[in-house]
Amino acid sequence: MKKYLVIGNPIEHSLSPMLHNYWIKKNNIDAVYEKKKLDENELKNIIDDVKKKKLNGVNITVPFKKTIIPFLDSLSTEANETQSVNTIYLNNGKIIGHNTDAAGFELAIKKLEYNLNNKKVFILGAGGVVSSIIFALNKMNPSEIILANRTKEKTLILKDSFKNIKIIDWGEIPNFDMIINATSLGLKEADKINLDFSNVGQNKIFYDVIYNPKETNFLKIAKNLGHRFENGKMMFVYQAHQAFTLWHKIMPDIDDETIRLFDK
Ligand code: ATR
């Protein structure tokens, strides 16, 4: 039986096992997908297990998407440009690190049928997922990508890799068409972002990378102000879909039943 794993810390909240095991069963694959909470000093052991084929694939989540990189033999273009790895596999004896978050975000935006061409995008946050979002946005031709983070130094690191982004201070609200919450604010139901969106104009789109809870306060504000809004569920589903396809060489269905898994 093949074995797959998602590693992170914390990891209890991860819905990856639920989704991957659902697709494994649907496609009659002899495999299991588990989750494991790790400390950083255990990353090497995990990679050794992939080399020894004790593990057939690993997903990486917060906070190891960058710290895993020194243990890998080679990176895909997406992983290299984002310096963020969420999917690992063995190819000809080499450990390859790939990033499916970028494609996950791109596919989620395509599904919205929202054309980003010439639009201004404002990103809140500079954590692990933001490089993937910028990488994906750059393929969709926005007129401007503006970034604000509470801790400004982190935005400067991103600016080094993505010269086209514009950095502003946390608290400023620029003119935008789409705003993306990529902070962890909202993971707890009571979390509120201390920003005032009442004067941003009309017909904006508010996107939250968070999918659990389904409707963060950020999205509730968007709803109350009459804007379009979307949570990160489909980004999560598509990144998993890309990893699954890469590992199993089978493209699983994303149907209503798949989406309903998240209602439980
Ligand atoms: P990491 O920073 O380890 O990659 P993350 O969950 O990917 O973790 O990112 C958390 C993001 O949420 C960061 O952008 C963080 O801002 P800081 O860089 O200033 O820490 C942001 N964040 C978390 N709590 C916040 C708060 N109370 N106000 C504003 N931003 C917050």
- Decide if 65 is catalytic: yes
Q: Whose CA is nearest to atom 5 of ligand 1?
A: 127
Residue among 230, 221, 160 nearest 196 (CA) = 221
Average pLDDT along the chain? 97
What pLDDT, on the 0 to 100 scale, is given for residue 243? 98
Which residues in the chain come in under a pLDDT of 50? none
Using a 6 Å cutoff on CB, does residue 147 contact ligand 1?
A: no
Residue among 112, 122, 222 nearest 182 (CA) = 122
Single pTM value for the model: 0.96
* Angstrom distance (rounded) from CA 149 to CA 167: 9
* Angstrom distance (rounded) from CA 124 to CA 158: 13
Q: Please list the helix, strand and coil fractions of the chain in percent, rounded to the nearest 5, in that order.
A: 35, 20, 45
Identify the active-site residue in 35, 65, 119, 204. Answer: 65
Q: Whose CA is nearest to atom 18 of ligand 1?
A: 151
What pLDDT, on the 0 to 100 scale, is given for residue 13? 87
Residue showing tokens 């809004």: 229
Which of helix, strand or coil describes residue 110?
Answer: helix
Amino acid at 167: I
